Structures are given as structure tokens and as C-alpha cells.
Chain A
Amino acid sequence: MLSAEEWQALRVSVCVAGGSVAISLPFAVPVAWLLVRARFAGRSLLDAFVHLPAVLPPVAIGYLLLVLFGVRGPLGGWLYATFGLRLAFTTAGAALASAVMSFPMMVRAMRLSLEGIHPGLEEAARTLGAGPLDRFLSVTLPLMAPGILAGVVTAFAAGLGEFGAVITFASNIPGETRTLPLALYSAIETPHGEAAAARLATLSIALGFAGLLSAEFLARRLRARLGG
């Protein structure tokens, strides 16, 4: 049904999307927490910075990543010299680019759920002897679970489809950074590629549906567990 290249594009997309979630998740949870619960100078600055990728052209994000994480860039150079890790034009780089792009969505989903948690519950945990980390792990995090799940699913779906930042920072290398949308773009650009383009578009729609339905199913189960 699908050609070898199309299977490859699907595999790359899943790797990039999965990688982008793995990169953004550990940052998104504390950032969401800071934005909702903490009171500190520079909170609105952090808020604006987190939302920047949502308002900048994706190509501009790709370009900035290239400047920072290129092998000669300040961060990229250090990563390459220290760990031998190259990001530009690699699957890991594509994951990083889509992580940056989907970060605002992920934080937003978590913020919404965190704002719905009565701060009094954390206070109650405190009077029961729970320190800051203990409170976060035993009360806040489990109650945030639906928001974290929603954030992960939307970020994963966005990662499957991220185009501009990926093609700018990681290029369009088959088997390495050619994700579904990049393969679709290439198919459209190729003479007689209409059939392949149709198949890739259908595949994207099917993945999108599957993602949304499974997210809804998981969210319902979580809500039931939280007694809502």
C-alpha cells in the first residue's frame, strides 16, 4: 500500500514527534508550574518568551536554531565538542525544532489543568507534613495528569506535522529528517507524484484521527480515576 520511502517518512515522523515530546516535557511541566503558582519578577517576560514560537514564522525559529545549534553556533559547537552530538541536519535536530514549535501548546494545556487545581489542596498536603517536592509529586502532578496527557498528545500531533522549522534547521534528508509533511511536499514537487501525495495526505489524516480519539479515550479514563 505504501512505498518504502513512505514507510520511512512515517517512521521518521514518529521518531521526530516522539523525540520532540521527550525534549519538551521535562521543561514544560516546571514552566507551567512557575507560570501558574510562582510569583516572581520577570514572570510576564518568561510567559512571553514561552509563547514566542507561536507567533514567530516557523522558518525564523529554524533559522535561530541554526544560528544557536549549528556546528559553529555557540551551543551547537559546545555540544559537538563535548558529546560529539550534531543537531543540524539530523533526526535529533528535527525533534528539537518541533519541540520548540510545540512548546507553547504543551505549556498551555498543562497551565489550564494546573489552574483548575485548588491551591488549597497543596496547602492541605503541607499541613500533613509534605515538603515542596513531596507536595508536587503526590498532589499536584497526579491532578495535572489530564493536562499533561493533553499536552503530550497535542505536541506529538504537532511534531508529526511540523514543517517550516524542521526543513530550515534539519533540511529534508530522506530517512533522517524527511517527515510526513516533508515527504508530502517533495511528492507534490515531483512530476507524477500525485498518487504518493494522496497516500501521504490520507495517512496524515488517519494519524490525526487516531491521535485525537486515543487522547479523548485516555482523558476520560483519567477523569474517572480522579473522580470528576
Chain B
Amino acid sequence: MLDVDLVAERGRFRLEARFRAPTPGVTALFGPSGAGKSTLVHALAGLIAARGRIALGAECWLDSARGLAVPAERRGIGYVFQDARLFPHLSVAGNLRYGARRARAATPVVREDEVVALLGLGALLARRTAHLSGGERQRVALGRALLSQPRLLLLDEPLAAIDGARRDEVLPYLERLRDALAIPMLYVSHQYDEVLRLATEVVLVAGGRTVAAGTPAALSLDPRLRPVVGGDAIGAVLEAEVGPLDPASGLASVAIGAGRLRLALPGAKPGDRLRLQILARDVILATEAPRGLSVRNALEGRLEELVPEGPDEMLAVIELGGPRVLARITRAAADELRLRPGLGVWALVKAASLRGHAYTRHA
């Protein structure tokens, strides 16, 4: 468990952060630009002064009450910067070795050949850093941080400086690290899709404070998340397991509460863990069982809550026997259907619009 309760100041900006992150796992520090995420990771790494307490399990890096503040170079916290910060006077191999030589851990957690294989660095080792692509630079920076045998890995928007196509090149490597290594990671991002793909836990940072925390699924229903992700990205996140595949259609069946969704999941095997985002704008709400529709997925549930969203729209929270989905509807429709909490409803989901992030199950 990573335990953080600190106050840090950078110029006039004041950050107050309090959260606990389960370890191992990837905890995303998610929030808009300027929210204080970067200040927070700088304070965690010890690169700027902070007051309060930071502890990972039995190891304490900051405890102002006891006058303890371990300097950055002795925290054993790996840091992957947005701009990679590779040493230009060293080759790729030299950069990797820089951290490895100074590792404080008595027994290495990751070996060099393992890191080189995981991050696909073999062909780059002899290269100078100046001519690497953005994606390659970040992979080398990741490898360098990992080989310093960190107790905790901080990733400060490692994909922000990379263009879209290259980002998709680096993301799978991050997923591999998450699934293969037991090093706890804090992943800073203002991209919700990255967070949904990588995080096992999310801490929402806004206006210099940690506002809310929880699993991606729990946080997806939290009203405090909505202004941060913006209207079109609002939607329930569900954790599920891939069920049997239908041999005829090739669609996978996924249990959601009492109901089932059928959807195309290329490459997924029964038993795989699945994180599914169902956008509120893609859910249609019906008060009767639908008939004669092309929509394959109708989930029966109960209307739990109606939340006004702007002047014309409302957000319906639909309970599906455990999990919940969100549906965006117009105020006019809500009035016409005489929607009220407690009403039995159907949530219709178009399979083609679902976003699924499958990942391997942790041992």
C-alpha cells in the first residue's frame, strides 16, 4: 500500500494530496492539465520539497512529524519523464546501465535481459540517443528507470510528447510491464483512454487537490469525474470476464449483472478479463422490452437516479443487478416516458460502439 498525505508548493501553486494506492498495480493520477499531477509526482520523487507523509509499506520517504525527508537519490523511486531525458553523451546501453550501476536493492527485481526483451530494446542498444524516435526514447527511459530496481515507478505523462500513432506503439509495452512485473506504478495522464487501458486504480486530481479515488469502474459513476472527462466520454466502465464464444457469429458473450452482452472481441479467449466502457451517449433507454430492433444487446434493469446534465439533457443511472450503466437522454424524453427512480427499464447498447480493453488476468 502506498500511503500519501502531503502538501507541496511550487511558486504560488499549492497542492494538497491525500490518497492510498494498492500495490502492486497501476494507479493513475488523472486530471486536467494544471491540476497539480506533475507537482504531486515531483514531490513523491523528492525533486521538490513537501510536508506530510509518504510511505510505501514499511518504507517511509517523508515524515515531517519525525523530521524525515529522504533525498531523491536515495528514495529508490524510478521516474519516467514526459521528455524522456536520456543522457545524450551515452549510448542506449550506457543509459540503461546508468541506473543499474546505482541500484540500491540488494537483490535485483528485474534483470537487464528481461527489460531489454520486455521493451524490445535489443536492436537499439548500440545506438546513440539523438536519433531515436519519440516512442523509442520513452522505451529506453522506461528501461533505464526499471533497471535502477525501483520500489515504485512514476510515469509522468510518458506518452504526452509522442504523436498518436507512436503512442499506440508504446502503450502495449506499458501493459506488458504492468502484467509482467510486480513494481507498483503511478501513471500520470490527462488522457482518459490511456487511464482506462492501464490503470487498476484511479486518483482524480483537480484544482491542486486529490478529489476522488477508486477503481476505474467505481470512479466512472462518480459525478466528480464528469467535468474532467467531458460530455462525450462519460460512460460506465465495467469489469467483466469473457464468456463462451459463439462459433457461428464469432461474438463473445460477456455477463453483465443478470444480463449478457454479445460483442466482437478480436483475439480474446474465454476467461480473459475485460474492461468495458459503455458511453452514456450510446445507450438507449426503453421502458418496455424491445422487439424488432437491430440492437443485439438489451439489458434489463431498474432506473436508479436521474441527474440533470445541462439545460436539455439528463443522465440516467441504470442498475443491472449489481453493475450500473449510464444513459444520456433528453429532458423531453424523460418527461414523455415519465421516468422516475425505481422504474423497470431496458438499456439498449449497440455492440459496435463498445470499447473493450482486454487484459491478462493477474496471477
Contact = CB atoms under 8 A, between A and B. Distances in A.
B166 interface: no
Which one of A118, A131, A227, A228 has the greatest number of beta carbons of chain B within 10 Å? A227
Interface stretch (A54-62, A99-107, A119-127, A177-185): A119-127
A129 interface: yes
A215 interface: no
Given A120-B81, A120-B83, A127 B88 contact: no
B102 A130 contact: yes
Contacts of B83: 120
Tier of interface size on chain A: 20 to 34
Which one of B79, B89, B144 has the greatest number of beta carbons of chain A within 10 Å? B89
Contacts of B79: 124, 127
A18 B363 CA distance: 66
Nearest to A143: B89
A131 B73 contact: yes
22 contacts: A120-B83, A121-B85, A121-B88, A123-B47, A123-B81, A124-B85, A124-B87, A126-B47, A126-B72, A127-B78, A127-B79, A127-B145, A128-B73, A128-B102, A135-B73, A138-B98, A139-B89, A143-B89, A226-B89, A227-B89, A227-B130, A228-B130
Interface in A71-125: 118, 120-121, 123-125
A173 to B, nearest CB: 45
> Top 8 closest A-B pairs, CB basis?
A129-B102, A227-B130, A127-B79, A124-B85, A128-B99, A227-B128, A142-B89, A126-B72
A127 B77 contact: yes
A225 interface: yes
B103 A129 contact: yes
Nearest to B148: A128
Contacts of B130: 227-228
A121 B75 CA distance: 18
Interface string A123-151: 11111111100110011001100000000
Nearest to B144: A128
Contacts of B88: 121, 143, 226-228
A126 B85 contact: no
